[in-house]
């Protein structure tokens, strides 16, 4: 399964990505983490990114694509991945499409978590107020002011991706304003509907076992019945043989009788004629 999660900051992409990772044994690909890992490993692309990151500049798209390309070749990618934080722009999406095409990797879906921006700002304000009330430290990037800037950047740079992936029939939209559990269930439902979720081996094996058991049950009665039927069919054979033997004996007797009668007739007639001739000769004398 290969997915991209889209949505403004605070939409819950990170939470849903983690749930999908655990449920389907996927790898969550974060461009920030991949960049840091590539720099630490001192890969050729990582060394290029190191100097750019040290200067505080944005890493060019071609370097980010190169890091993603190296990561996709790792053996732990066999079950699939979820891209988190990339692509952020249409040119990045086009470059990613070209990379996946070269590697013969199919992108299953782009899931958009659609939320109400006003509701997001209310959520952040409530969370910040609660943290301050508990005496907890509030992150600099977790305030309504910072979120407003991030939302403006999202609308300008990333929101056009919704149209981009919609045209390519990859976009699936989920109401991100539902509860976390409802969002999770809806994501899994639509992934099953498009066939992105493969059945587990245990579930797939169950019908096969049932089919084997059914075949055994069916085969046993069939064998007994066949044996009984064969036995019944075999029993009349001696009767038929006896009947045939009787018929032969009767035929032989009838033939003998016919031959005897015929022989008697043949013998009697010449004998009678001969007797008559002798009588006539004696009379003449």
The CATH number of 2-117+154-199 is 3.40.50.300
Active site residue 150: yes
Per residue, the 3-state secondary structure of the chain, as one string, reads CEEEEECCCCCCHHHHHHHHHHHHCCEEEEHHHHHHHHHHHCCHHHHHHHHHHHCCCCCCHHHHHHHHHHHHCCHHHCCCEEEECCCCCHHHHHHHHHHHHHCCCCCCEEEEEECCHHHHHHHHHHHHHHHHHCCCCCCCCCCHHHHHHHHHHHHHHHCHHHHHHHHCCCEEEEECCCCHHHHHHHHHHHHHHCCCCCCCHHHHHHHHHHHHHHHHHHHHHHHHHHHHHHHHHHCHHHHHHHHHHHHHHHHHHHHHHHHHHHHHHHHHHHHHHHHHHHHHHHHHC
User: Of these residues, 101, 132, 139, 189, which one is catalytic?
Assistant: 139
* Model pTM score: 0.63
Q: Of 19, 36, 50, 127, which is the active-site residue?
A: 127
Active site residue 13: yes
- pLDDT in 10s for each residue of the chain, 285 residues: 999 999 998 888 989 999 999 999 999 998 888 888 888 888 888 888 888 877 777 788 998 999 899 999 999 998 899 998 899 999 999 999 999 999 999 999 999 999 998 888 888 888 888 888 999 888 777 788 888 888 998 999 999 999 999 999 999 999 999 999 999 999 999 999 988 876 554 444 445 555 555 555 544 444 555 445 545 544 444 454 455 455 545 655 655 665 455 545 544 444 455 445 544 555 554
Catalytic residue among 36, 50, 114, 150: 150
Instruction: Indicate if 139 belongs to the active site.
Output: yes
pLDDT digits (tens, 9 = 90+) for 254-279: 556 654 555 455 444 444 554 455 44
Catalytic residue among 2, 13, 71, 170: 13
Predicted confidence (pLDDT) per residue in 64-116, tens digit = 999 899 999 999 998 899 998 899 999 999 999 999 999 999 999 999 999 99
36, 50, 88, 114: which is the annotated catalytic residue?
Answer: 88
């Amino acid at each position: 399964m290969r997915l991209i999660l889209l949505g403004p900051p605070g939409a819950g992409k990170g939470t849903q990505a983690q749930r999908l990772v655990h449920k389907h044994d996927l790898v969550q690909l974060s461009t920030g983490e991949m960049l840091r890992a590539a720099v630490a490993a001192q890969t050729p692309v990582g060394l290029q990114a190191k100097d750019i990151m040290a200067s505080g500049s944005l890493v060019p798209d071609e370097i980010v694509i190169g890091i993603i390309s190296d990561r996709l070749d790792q053996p732990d990618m066999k079950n699939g991945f979820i891209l988190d934080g990339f692509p952020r722009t249409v040119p990045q999406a086009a470059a990613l499409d070209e990379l996946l095409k070269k590697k013969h990797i199919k992108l299953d879906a782009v899931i958009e978590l659609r939320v109400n921006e006003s509701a997001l700002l209310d959520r952040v304000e409530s969370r910040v107020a609660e943290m301050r009330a508990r005496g907890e430290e509030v992150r600099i990037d977790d305030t309504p002011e910072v979120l407003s800037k991030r939302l403006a950047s999202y609308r300008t740079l990333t929101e056009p991706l919704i149209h981009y992936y919609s045209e390519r029939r990859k976009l699936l939209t989920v109401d991100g304003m539902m509860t976390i559990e409802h969002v999770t269930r809806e994501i899994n439902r639509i992934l099953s509907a498009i066939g992105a979720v493969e059945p587990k081996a245990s579930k797939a094996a169950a019908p096969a076992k049932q089919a084997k058991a059914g075949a055994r049950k069916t085969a046993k009665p069939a064998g007994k019945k066949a044996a009984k039927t064969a036995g019944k069919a075999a029993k009349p054979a001696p009767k038929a043989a006896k009947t045939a033997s009787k018929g032969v004996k009767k035929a032989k007797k009838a033939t003998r009788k016919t031959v005897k009668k015929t022989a008697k007739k043949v013998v009697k007639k010449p004998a009678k004629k001969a007797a008559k001739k002798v009588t006539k000769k004696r009379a003449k004398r």
